[in-house]
């Protein structure tokens, strides 16, 4: 079970690089497995990682398995799992367009229907230094029921019931962020109404295979 999850994390870590969602060792991933969480190691290039580098922690962040130090953002991963029981995986990226908006302190409004993978909008958590309990509090204090949150002057956090779901949110929200940025640069974005987005979110619940 844990081995399969570690392999899945390795796959999606590499996909974060392949799909331009992050660079080098930036960002991090975790998955909940019962009362444990598996998280990527701190400061390691995704392309150099193996399953043996993944770190297993308990709910308080004590390392149970693995020789590496866990990601420096372990605090906010744990805080998210404690915050909402439906969260089974967390994906954190520094994807360029989401991060651009986060550096402008802008939320992402429903400019494109794909925002519905996250919620009616993507909120913005106030700035706090990376790797601190303040950042964890800023994220849990902002995310609400959303599946994504921008971190001011930092990046994006996406959550889901499973790692493929959280990764999909990160990828779709980066696309929406890019579209929003481009519409701001080119002119006036036309924003969907709350009713229009609500209808999309209902359809997404039954979407997929």
Residue closest to Zn ion when measured from CB atoms:
155
How far, in whole angstroms, is CA 190 from its chain's centroid? 26
In the complex, the smallest distance separating the C-beta of residue 2 from Zn ion, rounded to whole angstroms, is: 25
Residues in CB range of 24: below 8 A, 6 or more apart: 45, 46
Please compute Rg for the chain using Cα positions.
Answer: 16
Catalytic residue among 7, 15, 45, 73: 73
In the complex, the smallest distance separating the C-beta of residue 93 from Zn ion, rounded to whole angstroms, is: 8
Task: Tell me whether residue 119 or residue 155 sits nearer to Zn ion (CB atom).
Answer: 155
Closest to 81 in 3D by CA, of 26, 157, 176: 157
- Two tokens, residue 180: 């929003």
Task: Tell me whether residue 123 or residue 155 sits nearer to Zn ion (CB atom).
Answer: 155
In the complex, the smallest distance separating the C-beta of residue 96 from Zn ion, rounded to whole angstroms, is: 13
In the complex, the smallest distance separating the C-beta of residue 72 from Zn ion, rounded to whole angstroms, is: 8
What are the φ/ψ torsions at residue 35 (nearest 5 degrees)? -95, 15
Residues 140-159 that bind Zn ion (CB under 5 A): 155
The DSSP bridge partners found for residue 38 are: 31, 56
Residues in CB range of 62: below 8 A, 6 or more apart: none
Q: How far apart are CA 197 and CA 179, in angstroms?
A: 16
In the complex, the smallest distance separating the C-beta of residue 46 from Zn ion, rounded to whole angstroms, is: 14
User: What sign for the dihedral angle of Cα 18, 91, 121, 131?
Assistant: negative
Task: Tell me whether residue 38 or residue 98 sits nearer to Zn ion (CB atom).
Answer: 98
* Catalytic site includes residue 73: yes
- Two tokens, residue 138: 């800023």
Reduced to 3 states, what is the DSSP secondary structure of residue 127?
coil
Q: How far apart are CA 140 and CA 84, in angstroms?
A: 9
The contact mask relative to Zn ion for 155-184 (x = CB under 5 A, - = no) is: x-----------------------------
Query: How many chain residues touch Zn ion (CB under 5 A)?
Result: 1
Task: Tell me whether residue 120 or residue 174 sits nearer to Zn ion (CB atom).
Answer: 174
Residues known to be catalytic = 73
Residue ranges binding Zn ion (CB under 5 A): 155
């Amino acid at each position: 079970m844990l081995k399969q999850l570690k392999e899945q994390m390795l796959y999606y870590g590499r996909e974060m690089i392949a799909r331009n969602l992050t660079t080098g060792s930036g960002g991090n991933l975790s998955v909940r497995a019962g009362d444990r969480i598996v998280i990527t190691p701190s400061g390691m290039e995704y392309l150099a990682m193996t399953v043996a580098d993944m770190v297993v922690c308990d709910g308080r962040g004590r390392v149970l398995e693995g020789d590496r130090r866990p990601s420096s953002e372990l605090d906010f991963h744990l805080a998210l799992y404690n915050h909402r029981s439906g969260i089974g995986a967390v994906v954190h990226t520094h994807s360029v367009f989401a991060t651009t908006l986060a550096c402008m302190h802008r939320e992402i409004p429903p400019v494109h229907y794909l925002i519905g993978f996250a919620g009616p909008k993507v909120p913005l958590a106030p700035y706090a230094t990376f790797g601190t309990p303040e950042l964890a509090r800023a994220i849990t204090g902002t995310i609400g029921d959303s599946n994504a949150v921008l971190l001011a002057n930092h990046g994006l956090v996406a959550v889901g019931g499973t790692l493929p779901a959280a990764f999909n949110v990160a990828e779709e929200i980066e696309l929406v962020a890019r579209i929003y940025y481009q519409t701001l640069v080119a002119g006036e974005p036309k924003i969907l109404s709350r009713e229009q987005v609500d209808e999309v979110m209902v359809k997404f619940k039954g979407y997929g295979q």
